[in-house]
Amino acid sequence: MGGIRGRLTLWYVLLLFLTLLFFSVVVYLGVERSLYRWFDHDLAQEVQQFARESELEDDGELDLEYEVLSHGEEVAVYDPQGVLVAEVGGLAPPGPLRLETGFDTHFKNGVPWRRLTIYAPSVKLWVRVSRSQEDVRASLRALFGLLLVGVPLTVLLAGAGGLFLASRLLNPLDEITRRAATLGAEGLSERLQSLESDDELARLVETFNQMLGRLDEAFARQKQFTSDAAHELRTPIARLLTRAEVALSRPRESEEYQASLNEIREGLESMGTLVAKLLALARSDAGAVAFEREPLDLADLAADAVFSLQEEGGAVRWETYFAPAPVLGDQTRLTELVLNLLENAVRHTPEGGTIKVSTSQRKGQAELSVHDSGPGVPEDLKERIFERFYQAEASRHGQGAGLGLPICRSIVAEHGGEIFLQREAAQRGAHFVVRLPLSRG
């Protein structure tokens, strides 16, 4: 007991009790009222019949129809002056009395008696009949007793039933809790056994399992990322270490030292770049970097980036078409995005190949499209190339390290946009499309 089960039952019982209490009061008061009304009605009918059927005989004898009265009533008959003429019961005052038509109630030995007084014109006499209300009171007492026992009993039974139902409902939850408690000790690969039923709880288990699945995946990705990062860093470190050890192994000319140090510096620089990229990704994952929102035009960014790459030289042809594509964003991050995509295109385009770059507005979005004439990306790798450290081809290009596209994706996500590979016929190169929310005005 305890917990939801107890609370649920308690509330249920309390509500039921209040409902039944209200119901009982209404019923009791209703019955009481109608019983007394019916009593008065019956008494009046009898008394009227008694008055109607009693008559003055020819000989002046008074013939009173006592048989009409069948409930042990007391009767008193008075003449118009209020003097007692006849009676049954022996308790009527002899008079003379001032009499009036109507009901009244008096008590005899603690029992209420209802008394009706009427004038009987046929005999020119007052008739006064009293009937005990003990029967009505007994009925009401019986009803009260019934309710007094019945209500608590009902509440008790319903409470037990409620507890039973609540338990039945909640037992699977206990089961789920117990199973979930044993999970995690051995890792995230386990799943809860699904329930046979097809209800909310089964769906809960299902949802829980799906969540475990996603966590499992994220966890695995994180592990992969860490080990990849360690590998990426360990290789150049080993190379630099070897380089330094060779240089130190015996006395050398200063030119040789200089060459070694230069090589080591270059290696450290590229490691620095890699670490900076990893840091940028980690910060972006953590949502830690607040970035600017400035009005910018993708067309300008792309044009400037293409221009600066052209200045560097290279043996590719550029085909560009820049239509205005205003966005709100962080200039540094978006410039990195454009540069990453363009450098990626240059890396994969053979000498003499063409790279098409364009910007446009489409369906309320600013679009940047970069289409190289390299080997393209196989259909089944279209998602994987956005994964960290993943590289489509086996050969690794020094600085590449497979972080460019993941960084692109995180920049695009920060700006509330999307990046994807456009579907192309085979051997037509990779075609990246970035869509960002268009800024108005």
Partner 1 sequence: MRVLLVEDDVGLGQAVKQALQEEGYAVDWAHEGEMGQDLALLEPYDLLLLDWMLPGRSGLEICSVVRSSGREVPILMLTARDAVEDRVTGLDRGADDYLVKPFALQELLARLRALLRRKEGVSRDPVLKAGEVHLDPSRHEVTKNGEPVSLTKKEYQLLECLMRHPGQVLSRDQIAAHIWDYDRSATSNVVDVYVRGLRRKLGDENLIRTVRGAGYQLEP
Residue of 280, 323, 328, 381 interacting with partner 1 (CB under 8 A): 280
Q: Does 268 bind partner 1 (CB under 8 A)?
A: no
Q: How far is the CB of 217 from partner 1 (least distance, A)?
A: 29
Considering only residues 90-149, where is the footprint of partner 1 by CB under 8 A?
A: none
Asked if 129 and 116 touch (Cβ cutoff 8 Å), the reply is yes
Report the residue number, 207 or 332, with the smaller CB distance to partner 1: 332
Nearest one of 146, 198, 171 to 20, comparing CA atoms:
146
Q: Does 305 bind partner 1 (CB under 8 A)?
A: yes
Q: Does 410 bind partner 1 (CB under 8 A)?
A: no
DSSP code of 379?
G
Q: Is the peptide bond before 437 cis (omega within 30 degrees of 0)?
A: no
DSSP code of 350?
P
3-state class (DSSP) for residue 85: strand
Asked if 415 and 334 touch (Cβ cutoff 8 Å), the reply is yes
Task: Record the tokens describing residue 212, joined without a space.
Answer: 């475990």
Report the residue number, 242 or 332, with the smaller CB distance to partner 1: 332
Residue of 76, 240, 296, 357 interacting with partner 1 (CB under 8 A): 296
Q: How far is the CB of 299 from partner 1 (least distance, A)?
A: 11
Half-sphere exposure of 118 (CA within 13 A, CB side): 17
Backbone dihedral angles phi then psi of residue 369, each to the nearest 5 degrees: -125, 130
Q: Does 266 bind partner 1 (CB under 8 A)?
A: no
Instruction: Give the binding range for partner 1 (CB under 8 A) out of 97-105, 292-300, 313-321, 380-388.
Output: 292-300
Task: Record the tokens describing residue 40, joined without a space.
Answer: 């008065």
Instruction: Give the binding range for partner 1 (CB under 8 A) out of 63-71, 237-245, 328-336, 370-378.
Output: 328-336
Residue of 291, 318, 389, 420 interacting with partner 1 (CB under 8 A): 291
Alpha-carbon gap, residue 404 to 288, rounded angstroms: 20
> CA separation (Å) from 313 to 307, 308, 383?
10, 9, 31
Report the residue number, 64 or 408, with the smaller CB distance to partner 1: 408
Report the residue number, 219 or 321, with the smaller CB distance to partner 1: 321
Alpha-carbon gap, residue 331 to 298, rounded angstroms: 10
Report the residue number, 129 or 299, with the smaller CB distance to partner 1: 299
Q: Is the peptide bond before 96 cis (omega within 30 degrees of 0)?
A: yes
Q: Does 294 bind partner 1 (CB under 8 A)?
A: yes
Q: How far is the CB of 368 from partner 1 (least distance, A)?
A: 14
Report the residue number, 133 or 359, with the smaller CB distance to partner 1: 359
Total chain residues near partner 1 (CB under 8 A): 23
Backbone dihedral angles phi then psi of residue 162, each to the nearest 5 degrees: -60, -45
Residues at the site binding partner 1, with contacts judged by CB under 8 A: 273, 276, 280, 283, 288-289, 291-292, 294, 296, 300-301, 304-305, 307-308, 311, 331-332, 335-336, 338-339
